[in-house]
């Protein structure tokens, strides 16, 4: 297994072959989750701190399940219940946690670059579980695993990434990953929610009907209201009319199109329930694959190449 990185900070620095290695490892480890006893001793004696400065359901719980499945010891810290509330800086928090000698810190933070900052100042391996609007590497990896399982390939797939591109770390990580692995990406969203300069990475369409036509997969993005201070769009109803994924729009894509969403969803805004719960949706498969991807990342950064013995 060749993975020369000490940290997982983003998809941008990874080579295509390294991404494929993570996906292959996740596929191999996934089988453990189907066993009656979902546990192997691969990371026995390793300690992981999950440090979440922002809310999370899927990412945090799947890291915890992955850590338990690989027998790592883990501690989860939600900063609403930590000394960050008393004004402690990120660096002081990390240094104090490091004084307890963990092997890895998994961090989610509202500031882009927070995991990179920790990587410069900490001895532990650092995993980015989402930093501001920058990257969410394990999300892109689980999306890729889901697409690869269903379509048997990523190269040549036409994938539309649709919605609030401006605030989306999921969009950025997927853009890097899908481009590196040879997929064709088209971006689509309201002009107010398209970051300047992103058209240098992939073509942008402001017409959802056009963007989804002939697609193999459609990745919907959440409207991130918590990051919006002004009126980026007139109303939820208007957003749905122009940029919501409806059953009628799904029919414009290929007959075997896959619908993805990282969650949590704003039903009736960026995606209709008939689509989210419909036959083309792989949204819950993404969640299942999230555990396998996080197992692979933990194993590759902490396992040191030992076989994940039964
Ligand atoms: N997709 C994702 O990051 O979900 P959570 O915010 O629930 O972790």
Residue of the nearest CA to atom 6 in ligand 1? Answer: 56
Q: What is the mean pLDDT of the chain?
A: 95
What's the 309 CA to ligand 1 centre distance in angstroms?
30
Report which ligand 1 atom has the smallest distance to the Cα of 290.
1
- Residue 266 pLDDT > 80: yes
Q: Which of 54, 55, 56 to mutate to test the pocket of ligand 1 (most atoms within 8 A of CB)?
A: 56
**301 C-alpha vs ligand 1 centroid, how far in Å?**
22
- Ligand 1 atom index nearest CA of 129: 3
- Give the other-Cβ count within 10 Å of 228's Cβ: 15
Q: Which atom of ligand 1 is nearest to the CA of 62?
A: 8
Taking CA atoms only, the protein residue closest to ligand 1 atom 1 is 262
If you measure from the C-alpha of residue 288 to the centroid of ligand 1, how many angstroms do you get, rounded to a whole number? 13
Q: Is the pLDDT of residue 91 over 90?
A: yes
C-alpha 170 – ligand 1 centre gap (Å): 10
d(CA 35, CA 276): 29
Please identify, by atom number, the ligand 1 atom nearest to the C-alpha of residue 263. Answer: 1
Q: What dihedral do alpha carbons 14, 15, 17, 20 form, nearest 10°?
A: 40
- Going by CA atoms, what residue is nearest to atom 4 of ligand 1? 58
pLDDT reported for residue 112: 97
User: Residues near ligand 1 with C-beta < 6 Å?
Assistant: 56-59, 130, 139, 262-264
Quote the pLDDT of residue 308.
52
Q: How far is the CA of 56 from the centre of ligand 1 (A)?
A: 5
When pLDDT is cut at 50, 70 and 90, the band that residue 82 belongs to is: confident
pLDDT tens for residues 132-178? 999 999 999 999 999 999 999 999 999 999 999 999 999 999 999 99
Would the pLDDT of 306 be above 60?
no
- Closest ligand 1 atom to residue 57 Cα is 7
**H-only helix segments in 35-124:** 58-69, 90-98, 114-121
Look up the pTM and report it: 0.95
pLDDT value, residue 1: 58
Task: Give the pLDDT of residue 305.
Answer: 52
d(CA 255, CA 215): 9
User: Is residue 237 over pLDDT 80?
Assistant: yes
pLDDT of residue 81: 75
Strand partners for 104 = 48, 125
Quick one: average pLDDT of 82-88? 86
- Distance, in Å, from the CA atom of 93 to the CA atom of 51, rounded to the nearest integer, reads 10
Q: Is the pLDDT of residue 267 over 80?
A: yes
* Sign of the four-CA dihedral 218, 224, 230, 235: positive
Phi and psi torsions of 51, nearest 5°: -115, 100
Name residue 237's beta-bridge partners. Answer: none
User: Residue 127: pLDDT above 60?
Assistant: yes
């Amino acid at each position: 297994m060749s993975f020369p990185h000490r940290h997982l900070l983003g998809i941008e620095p990874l080579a295509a072959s390294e991404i494929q290695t993570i996906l292959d490892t996740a596929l191999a480890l996934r089988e453990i989750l189907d066993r009656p006893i979902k546990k192997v001793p691969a990371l026995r004696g390793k300690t992981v701190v999950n440090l979440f400065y922002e809310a999370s359901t899927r990412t945090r719980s799947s890291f915890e399940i992955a850590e338990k499945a690989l027998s790592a010891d883990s501690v989860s810290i939600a900063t609403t219940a930590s000394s960050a509330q008393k004004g402690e800086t990120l660096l002081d928090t990390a240094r104090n946690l490091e004084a307890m000698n963990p092997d890895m810190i998994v961090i989610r933070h509202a500031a882009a670059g927070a995991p990179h900052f920790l990587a410069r100042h900490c001895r532990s391996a650092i995993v980015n579980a989402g930093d501001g609007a920058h990257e969410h590497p394990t999300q892109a990896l689980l999306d890729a695993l889901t697409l690869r399982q269903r379509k048997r390939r990523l190269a040549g797939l036409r994938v539309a990434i649709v919605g609030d591109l401006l605030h989306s770390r999921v969009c950025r990580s997927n853009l890097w990953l899908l481009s590196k692995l040879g997929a064709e990406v088209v971006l689509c969203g309201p002009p107010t929610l398209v970051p300047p300069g992103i058209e240098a990475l992939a073509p942008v369409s402001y017409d959802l009907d056009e963007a989804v036509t002939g697609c193999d997969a459609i990745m919907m993005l959440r409207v991130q209201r918590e990051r919006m201070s002004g009126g980026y769009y007139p109303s939820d109803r208007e957003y749905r009319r122009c940029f919501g994924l409806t059953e009628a729009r799904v029919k414009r894509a290929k007959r075997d199109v896959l619908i993805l969403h990282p969650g949590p969803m704003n039903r009736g805004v960026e995606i209709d329930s008939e689509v989210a719960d419909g036959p083309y949706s792989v949204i819950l498969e993404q969640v299942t694959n999230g555990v396998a991807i996080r197992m692979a990342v933990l194993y590759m950064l902490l396992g040191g190449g030992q076989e994940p013995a039964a």
